[in-house]
Structure 1
Amino acid sequence: MSIGTKIRNLLRRTGHEVGLHASAMRNRRTDRPRVLFFPSGRREGASLLRAYNMADALTRTGWHAAAVPADLKLPARRRVIRHFAPDILVFQQCRHALNDTALRYGDPVVLDTDDADFFLTIPGLVERLQRTSQAAVGVMAGSQFIQEWHAQHNANAAVIWTGTPITAGPRPDHHARQSDGPPILAWAQAAPLSYVNELDFVRGLVADLRAQGAAFRLRFYGIATEEERDRLRAMFPDLPDLQMLPPMGYDAFLQSLHQVAVGLSPIITRNEFSRGKSFGKILGYLDAKVPVIASDEADHARFFTETTGVVTNDRDEWLRQILALLGDPDRRNRMADAAFEAFPRDLSIEAAARKTDAFLRDLLTTR
C-alpha cells in the first residue's frame, strides 16, 4: 500500500471518528436512549439496510442512534463508545473481527444477523458468532431459520425482517416495460456464479422457456469481469438477449429494476447457507413493482400471498407462472400492485424500525 493511500485511509477514518464525536456532543444533554450500530461492512447490502438505515430510522423514533463505520479500529471504537455513552451496542453480524463480545466493550450488546453465517468456513467466524450470541442481551434475526439457530444459544432471540426505505416517484406500467423489446426476466442475485445450484435451476428454466417458444430477455446482476461474462455466455450460448449488468450502487440497482417484467428468487437448500437467506433482493423487486417468483424457503411464504407473489418449490409451477406473467402485462400489474400495497406494512424500514425500537426499549426496561 502506498504512503498516499495510507494517508487517505487515515484521514477517512479520522473524519468518521470526528463526526461521531460531534454527534455525541450535540446530543449530550438529551434524555433520549442511545444506541450505536457496528456494521460488518461498507455502506451497502445488509450493513446499509440493517445498520446505517436503521440508525437513521431509530433517530426519527426518539433515539440518539449512529452507525460506526467498519474501518474504525479498536482504539477509535473505544473512544467513540466512551464519548457517546450508549445504552446498547448492536453488532450487525460477526463477520467483522471486532464485532466480538470477547473484546469486552463494557455495554450491553445486541447481535443482529440476517445470514446463516454459522455455515461459513471463515476461520474463527462460527466461534465468534456463537460466543457473541451467548453473551448478547438479545438477538435480532432476519428469518425464522436464523432465529431458531440463535435460540439454542440465547433465550431472547426474535425475528425482525430486513426493511428498506421505499423510494418516491412513479413506477413504469408493465406494458411500457416491454415497449423496446421482449419482457425482461431477471435474477438479481449480486454474485450469481457463486450460487451454483440456483444458477443450474435458472439454466433449466431458461431452456424450458425457450422450448415453449417464450420471448424474453434474461438479465443477471453483479457481473464484474470479462471472465464472468464469458462463463455466463458459455452457459447460455443460444440466448441472443442475455444482459449482464455490472455491480452498481443500490439507487442505480433499484432504477434498473424499473425495466424488469418478472423477478426470480430461487433458493436451493442443498447449499445449507442458502437456508438462512432473508428477503434480500426481493426488497428491490417490491420497490420497483416487479412481480416475484420465489422458492418456498426462508420466510417467503410468511409474506407473500396468492395475490402478491408466487411461492413454490414445484419447478413445473415456476415454469407455468413465468409463462403466464411474461405473456400478460395486466397480470403483472395486478400482482405487483398488490405486493407494493403490502410492502410498507411488513418490509419497509419503518416496519423494521418499529420492531427494532420495541425490542431495544424492552431490553432497557428489563435491565
Structure 2
Amino acid sequence: MNRAPRGKKIRTEFRKGHESRQRKTDFTRDFHDAPTDDAGLEELQQRERLTGKGELTRKRTVVGQTSDGEEAGFEVRRDVDEQCVPGRVISVHGLACRVGDDSGTVYRCSVRGILKSLSTELRHVVVTGDRVTIRVTGEQEGVIERIEPRYGTISRTSRGRRHAIATNVDGLLIVASAAEPGIKPNLIDRMLVTAERAGVEPLICVNKIDLADAASLQPLLGVYGQLGYRILLVSARTGRGIDRLRSWVQGRDTVVAGQSGVGKSSILNALEPGLNLRVGEVSRENQKGKHTTTAATLIPLAMGGHLVDTPGIRSFPLWDLVPAEIAGWYRDVRPFVNRCRFPDCTHSHEERCGVKDAVADNLIDLRRYDSLLHLQDGDDA
C-alpha cells in the first residue's frame, strides 16, 4: 500500500503570547544559590545567555506543506495520518464545533491546540463552512486536526480583527425588507463590495413586499439593476417570489445575510419546508428585530446545495480595505477613477475629479456617491 508522502518541516509563526521571556533575568539569584566551587561557577557561565534570540521567537517547526495564508487562513497545511476523516463545519459554538462527515454523522469537535496557536488574522480559527479533517475520538466526538484551504469567504471587521462569517461559498443572498424595518442601502452597498472581493455572486432579496408598494422601491432598486445586480422581490408570508429564489439557491452554497428583523429565517423556512427555524417579531417602537439566530449555521438543502443562516447584522465594517481602494469596488464609480487629475483623489473636494464630474452629469447615482464617501470616512452602515 502506497503511503502519502510526508510534508517537509516548515518554520511558521505562532500567535502572540507563545513566546517565553526574552532572556533569563535572575542570574543574581542563581549566583547566590549556585555552588561556590569552580565547577559550579563554570556551569553558571555556560547557562548564561545575553541575546534575545531563541526563546523569544514565536516561530515553531510544523510538518506539512506551505499554503497561501491569504486564501487558506494559515501559512502551513499540517500533515495528518490516514485515520482522520474529512468533514465540514456546520456551526461554531465557542471552543466546540459541530462537524458533519460525508455519511451525515455529526460530531461535536474540539480544535487541536496547535491550530489555535498558529498565527492568523482571523478572530476565530474555525469558520462555518470550513472543510476540515477530524480525528474521531469517541461516539460522535472528535478533534479538528486540519483546516483545508478556503475560498469564497465572507468577512467583516470585528474588534480590529477579521471576523469570517462563512467560507467556501459561491453565493451571497443579501436580504432586506420593504418595511418593518426599512431598507438600509448603505448596508447593501457594503455587502456588495464584500461579495465582489470574495468572488461570490450576490443577489439582493427584498422581503415583505406585501407590506409596501413595489413601485416606491423602483428609484432605489433600479440603480442596482442597471449595475447588473440581480434583484428579487419576495414575501415569505404569501409565498411570492419564493419559487424563483429557490431556483437561484439550488445547487449553490449561499450565505444569507441582512439586518435583524428582515425575515431571513422566515425565507429559509419557506425555501426548505420542515426546517422550522425560530422567527421573531420586529419591535413596534424602534423598528428593529431581535436576534433569533445566534450562530452561523450550515443547512443542507434537499434540492442540492447549502444555505448558511447568519445572525442579524447591525453594522458591516469592511475588512482589510483602505479608503483609497474602495472606489475600485463600486461598479458604477470604477470607470471614472482614472479620469481624476490626482492619483490619490478622494473624490470629495478635489478639482478636476472624474467621479464628481460623473455625478454632476448623472452618470453616477447621487445616493451611491454619498454611500462611497461615508464608507471612505469609516462611518457605520
| TM-score > 0.5 by shorter chain | no
| TM-score, scaled to structure 2 | 0.26
Structure showing the higher strand proportion among its residues:
2
More helix by share: 1
Q: TM-score, normalised by structure 1?
A: 0.26
